[in-house]
Amino acid sequence: PTPAPTPSYGVNFASVAINSNDTVTVPAGYTVDVVLKAGDLVEPGTAFVNGTFPTSVSQTAAWAGGNHDGMEYFELSGTDANSGGLLAINFELPDYNILFSNGTYNAATATAEQKQIALSAVGIAVVEVAKGTDGKFAVKAGSRFNKRYSGNTNYRVGGPAAGALPSTIRGMLNNCSSGRTPWGTYLTCEETTNNYLDPTQPNNSYGWVVEIDPYQELAPATKRTAMGRFSHENVAYMTDANNRVAFYMGDDSTPGCIYKFIPDRAFNLNNRAANTDLLDYGTLYVARFNADGTGEWRAMVQGQNGLVAGAADPGNVSQSTTPPTPTPVNFNTQSDVLINAQSAARVAGGTVMDRPEWITVAPNKQSIFVTLTNNGSRRVTDAANPRVTNLHGHILKFRETGDSPLATRFTWEIFLQAGNPSLTEANLKGNISGDYFSSPDGIRIDPQGRLWVQTDHNLTGNAGTLNGAASNMTQAFGNNSMYYIDQATKQSKRFLVGPAGCEITGIAYTPDLKSFFINIQHPTGNWPVSGQQPRSSTIVVRRTDGQPVGN
Ligand code: FEO
Ligand code: CA
Ligand code: CA
Ligand code: CA
């Protein structure tokens, strides 16, 4: 394809400075409200009280879970979508500090009740939110849409691997990031393939994309096995004029591949129910990035691309200059391919990447961005993963042939390499112009085409040599934060800095872009309620002059 015209949407906020303060810092003229904290009520019950700890899952089952991550905003018919709607929010992990008196959890020694309490704090919540007369969004208590789905809930299983799994699976967990379908369902992603909170649960049951209808009209929550089992990060879709769709997905593993799933059928926007099992029939592909800037999608179909009995999994070819010994693996059925998708992807020729986190598709369909958050263990580089000991990560951009979701080929480029230009090591400086960062994770292009990036660096982790001395991530980058990046100039501007200890994740917004919902995950200081236990929370950021964010 010809080079895509790169849109450039200005922003008029003044960059926030790097800091390690225990508060959410936003530009002048912006304001922050907390919408939903871990332990707040989603369903009727008794909310968390600071200084006390739950003794029964009957208490915590009604609460918002912990480690808020991916999130989507859904419109409600009959409601002005800019003033109210539904938020579906992922809970990646429990906020252990509000569940257990010593703040820790050990699956090997936990009682049955403690396991259930921990499992109640993962999964998702759907909450109705509405703007009050003070202009602040708040959860609408008692809404019939407010509902928890947790690690204790039973899930339906759909797709080709259903026959090889229990007919009902207890629990979903590590609900990391998320996505949505064109027909208005929520896709929540399990970023683990085992139930480490309760290892007695059967293996193979986790690592799926789970489809949940926030309106509770379609099928019950269903694990969609056709989309493959791996450490799912998020899902982003692209449609075409014929209502065909592709779903793009990353496997946040060290290393992991990039996938897309193309349902066999077109979706139907006039009849939601017609889409109920659309995600059970289709083809999963893995991306191969060639050194010449081209790429191809390899079908992960049993009998094709080496996916047969007696296949050889090449393993993690990036972690040592001495290639690992290939592992024999049998792909006798499509279930084998989907349940063992990470191995199948490598056999099929997928490129092992530096931990693919979120993917986002531009509204004009001419570019797709993926964050490769970091991979300190990379020793063998390739064109798409060009740095050894990639502590700070990079962002890759690709374009489908014909800007079609059905394409089997694409072109790609490295959009930017993260880092700090003051670091001594050449492989750690990066090439960001403007406000630099490490470990891009959340990424989303809003409907006006503005590109937003959120970071998840390990605050105490090694960052490289700064001013002649070893530095950690907080010294080199401050607290985790959120950026606007101009797609044409690649100029980066820091929009928000989180409180102590947190990661910044989750991006959702009202249609007028005047209210941005953002998640503050695992704060460790004194936020959001002074003098109380820190709690992961959903916040809403808006401008005090009532104009769209970033505009
Ligand atoms: Fe849960 Fe890959 O972040
Ligand atoms: Ca993430
Ligand atoms: Ca991350
Ligand atoms: Ca996390």
Residues 6+ away with beta carbon under 8 Å from 518: 454, 482, 496, 504, 505, 506, 507, 538, 539, 540, 541
Residues 6+ away with beta carbon under 8 Å from 2: none
Largest pairwise CA distance in the chain = 65
- Ligand 4 mean position, distance from CA 526 (Å): 19
Which atom of ligand 1 lies at the shortest distance from residue 191's CA?
Answer: 1
- Ligand 4 mean position, distance from CA 503 (Å): 7
Which residue has the least CA distance to atom 1 on ligand 1?
A: 176
Percent of the chain topping pLDDT 70: 98
- Ligand 1 mean position, distance from CA 191 (Å): 7
The size of the chain, in residues, is 551
Q: What are 343's two structure tokens?
A: 């191995």
Residue 475 lies in a domain: no
Whether the per-residue pLDDT at 546 is higher than 80: the answer is: yes
Q: What are 315's two structure tokens?
A: 């393993």
DSSP bridge partners of 372: 356, 394
Q: Residues 275, 269: contact at Cβ < 8 Å?
A: no
Whether the per-residue pLDDT at 3 is higher than 80: the answer is: no
Whether the per-residue pLDDT at 4 is higher than 70: the answer is: no
What DSSP string describes 196-236?
TT-TTSPTTS-S-EEEE-TTS-SSSPEEEGGG--S-EEEEE
What is the layout of strands, in order, in the sheet containing 440-445?
433-434, 491-497, 481-485, 451-455, 440-445
Kindly state the helix (H) or strand (E) to which residue 259 belongs, with its residue range.
strand 258-263
According to DSSP, residue 390 is labeled B
Which ligand has its closest atom nearest to the C-alpha of 506? 2
pLDDT in tens, 53-94: 999 999 999 999 999 999 999 999 999 999 999 999 999 999
Phi-psi region of 125 (alpha: psi -120 to 50; beta: other; left: phi over 0): beta
pLDDT of residue 201: 86
Which atom of ligand 1 lies at the shortest distance from residue 355's CA?
Answer: 2
| b (16+ CB within 10 A) / e for 247-285 | bbbbbbbbbbbbbbbbbeeebeeeebeebbbbbbebbbb
- What does the alpha-carbon distance between residue 374 and residue 112 come to, in Å, rounded to a whole number? 36
- Ligand 4 mean position, distance from CA 459 (Å): 12
Which ligand has its closest atom nearest to the C-alpha of 358? 2
Which atom of ligand 1 lies at the shortest distance from residue 456's CA?
Answer: 3
Q: Residues 103, 118: contact at Cβ < 8 Å?
A: no
Whether the per-residue pLDDT at 1 is higher than 70: the answer is: no
- Ligand 3 mean position, distance from CA 507 (Å): 14
pLDDT of residue 551: 81
pLDDT in tens, 316-332: 999 999 999 999 999 99
What DSSP string describes 271-288?
-GGGGTTGGGSEEEEEEE
Whether the per-residue pLDDT at 263 is higher than 70: the answer is: yes
- What does the alpha-carbon distance between residue 354 and residue 356 come to, in Å, rounded to a whole number? 6
- Ligand 4 mean position, distance from CA 102 (Å): 21
Which atom of ligand 1 lies at the shortest distance from residue 505's CA?
Answer: 3
- Ligand 3 mean position, distance from CA 458 (Å): 9
pLDDT of residue 255: 87
Of 3-7, 233-237, 347-351, minimum mean pLDDT range? 3-7
The three-point CA angle 436-365-178 to 5° equals 65
Which atom of ligand 1 lies at the shortest distance from residue 252's CA?
Answer: 2
pLDDT in tens, 214-247: 999 999 999 999 999 999 999 999 999 999 999 9
Neighbours of ion ligand 3 (CB under 5 A): 441, 456
pLDDT in tens, 513-542: 999 999 999 999 999 999 999 999 999 999
pTM: 0.97
Query: Is the sign of the CA dihedral 138, 141, 144, 150 positive or negative?
Result: positive
Alpha helix segments (H runs only) across 91-149: 96-99, 112-120
3-state secondary structure 48-76: CCCCCCCCCHHHHCCECCCCEEEEEEECC
Which residue has the least CA distance to atom 3 on ligand 1?
A: 176
According to DSSP, residue 352 is labeled P
> What ipTM was estimated for this complex?
0.99
Which ligand has its closest atom nearest to the C-alpha of 522? 4
pLDDT in tens, 475-520: 999 999 999 999 989 999 999 999 999 999 999 999 999 999 999 9
3-state secondary structure 448-513: CCCEEEEECCCCCCEEEEECCEEEEHHHHHCCCEEEEECCCCCEEEEEEECCCCCEEEEEEECCCC
Q: Which residue range forms the structural domain that includes residue 205?
A: 34-435
Residues 6+ away with beta carbon under 8 Å from 451: 360, 369, 443, 444, 445, 484, 485, 486, 487
The three-point CA angle 283-336-150 to 5° equals 80
- Ligand 2 mean position, distance from CA 175 (Å): 10
DSSP bridge partners of 451: 445, 485
Residue 295 lies in a domain: yes
Q: What are 228's two structure tokens?
A: 């493959």
Computed over every residue of the chain, the mean pLDDT equals 96
DSSP bridge partners of 517: 508, 540
Phi first, then psi, for residue 21 (nearest 5°) are -75, 160
Which atom of ligand 1 lies at the shortest distance from residue 373's CA?
Answer: 2
Whether the per-residue pLDDT at 6 is higher than 70: the answer is: no
Kindly state the helix (H) or strand (E) to which residue 342 belongs, with its residue range.
helix 341-347
Which ligand has its closest atom nearest to the C-alpha of 442? 2
Residue 24 lies in a domain: no
pLDDT of residue 346: 98
Q: What are 399's two structure tokens?
A: 């374009």
Residue type (1 letter), 390: N
- What does the alpha-carbon distance between residue 510 and residue 548 come to, in Å, rounded to a whole number? 10
Kindly state the helix (H) or strand (E) to which residue 368 belongs, with its residue range.
strand 368-372
Q: Residues 519, 68: contact at Cβ < 8 Å?
A: yes
- Ligand 2 mean position, distance from CA 484 (Å): 18
- Give the mean pLDDT of 274-289: 98
Q: How many domains, the chain?
A: 1
pLDDT of residue 203: 76
pLDDT in tens, 85-121: 999 999 999 999 999 999 999 999 999 999 999 999 9
pLDDT of residue 10: 75
- Give residues (CB < 6 A) around ligand 1: 92, 176, 191, 233, 252, 357
Which atom of ligand 1 lies at the shortest distance from residue 69's CA?
Answer: 1
Which ligand has its closest atom nearest to the C-alpha of 174? 1
- What does the alpha-carbon distance between residue 394 and residue 384 come to, in Å, rounded to a whole number? 10
- What does the alpha-carbon distance between residue 329 and residue 314 come to, in Å, rounded to a whole number? 10
- Ligand 3 mean position, distance from CA 357 (Å): 7
Which ligand has its closest atom nearest to the C-alpha of 507? 2
State how far the alpha carbon of 488 is from the alpha carbons of 6, 131, 412, 416, 433, in Å.
5, 35, 16, 12, 12
